[in-house]
Amino acid sequence: MTLIALAVPFFLLALIAELAIDRFRRTGYYRSNDAINSLSAGILSESTGYFTKVVQYTIWGLVLSNFALFDIQRSWFDASVSGIALWVLAAVLWDFCYYWSHRLGHEVSILWAAHAVHHQSEEYNLSTALRQTSSSFIFSWIFYVPLFLIGFPTDVLITVGALNLIYQFWVHTQHIRRLGVLDRILVTPSNHRVHHAQNQAYIDKNYGGIFILWDRLFGTFAEEADDEPVIFGVRKPLANWNPIWANFQVYDYLLFDAQHTRRWQDKIGVWFRRTGWRPADVAEAYPKSPVDLDTFQKFDPQISSTRRAYVMMQFAVVIISALLISASFATQGAAAIFVPCLLLWTQLYTLGLLNEDRLYAARFELVRLAIIVPIGLFAMDESFLTMTPLLWVFVAFYVLGSALWLRKN
Ligand SMILES: [Zn+2]
Ligand SMILES: [Zn+2]
């Protein structure tokens, strides 16, 4: 089991604790629709990762076995002083690579298209931390290749990479304000709030993962100012609750510009130039309205309380399904979980529709409920057929109970 999978129960407990504090203090940092969308993006990222992460592992493995400069032994990373020093060195170097991966993830259009998902939430809480992209597998592994070229063992690097990501979880909160000297050395809630801002003063700042020192060194640091409250989100809002589309939105903008510009240099430039750059002919023919943060309104369609309760119940099913799929992946591999993942992704999509209060949302949800058993029977054959009678009763109860509940709201 990976370190991140082990951390998931702690993430969920911390999230519930922060939600309770939010309700107790009446701070209003959580909205169920936004939190569900962020967690849906996280679940999508994790579950697509079962099929896509093989790309980075394969390439890293090839680099390490064919081009490594030093023969660094895994046994050197033990509990001795020199072993711990090596672990720290690997973690610091990983963080340095993360800084550049993250910085270019904002500054280069095609990399921003992948990373933007993490920034689409207009709230800022622990659920935002789990809001991760599903397409970073295309490019982000490149930034860590130098570490494999040096010759660090794969499992050491994967461990420090996971710890780097786990560290970043706690900084996604508004309940911790300033931390004095820590704000000067580490990435802290205050520093990272700045990073999630769309305020002009805060744009493209604070890229660090664990250490904020990189930002201070390379001129990308900005301090949270009391007279500049952070407005969270991106300047081209997602404006829907579809976690799948969240992963395509910026690619779609870039594709539009690439298709409509005349010069072939610009068709390529659209993808690889600085984020926000547009070819002159496209910018003239299809101008974008300027951003006015004074009139900024969060995307927040209202739904009935019974509909919200239905969505919450289904989201609990999503979390249980995602955990079961994670356990199946660990024991049976990717092929065995492909169909369950398809069903999971369909459910994430329909929950988005329900939260948007689309006219056809309930019909779409009924179709989803209706296909669970046939798909299970035809596509999952053995694993579905060999379920115990108790599980069959549970599935029947879930499908029929959900359909009846849905008709009532
Ligand atoms: Zn970022
Ligand atoms: Zn973040």
Cα(194) to centroid(ligand 2), Å: 10
Cα(192) to centroid(ligand 2), Å: 6
Question: Residues 6 or more apart from 296 whose CB is under 8 A from it?
Answer: 198, 231, 233
Distance (Å, rounded) from C-alpha 348 to C-alpha 358? 15
Which ligand approaches the C-alpha of residue 115 most closely? Answer: 1
Cα(157) to centroid(ligand 2), Å: 21
Residue 260's pLDDT is 97
Q: Which residues of the chain are under the pLDDT cut of 50?
A: none
Cα(129) to centroid(ligand 2), Å: 6
Cα(103) to centroid(ligand 1), Å: 7
Residue 239's pLDDT is 94
Residue 2's pLDDT is 80
Q: Provide the 3-class DSSP secondary structure of residue 186.
A: strand
Residue 198's pLDDT is 96
Cα(209) to centroid(ligand 1), Å: 10
Cα(195) to centroid(ligand 1), Å: 6
Which ligand approaches the C-alpha of residue 173 most closely? Answer: 2
Which ligand approaches the C-alpha of residue 42 most closely? Answer: 2
Residue 116's pLDDT is 98
The model carries a pTM of 0.94
Q: Which residue has 């994430």 as its token pair?
A: 348
Q: Are 99 and 215 in contact (CB under 8 A)?
A: yes
Cα(352) to centroid(ligand 2), Å: 22
Residue 376's pLDDT is 80
Residue 1's pLDDT is 63
Residue 199's pLDDT is 95
Cα(98) to centroid(ligand 2), Å: 13
C-alpha R_g of the chain? 23
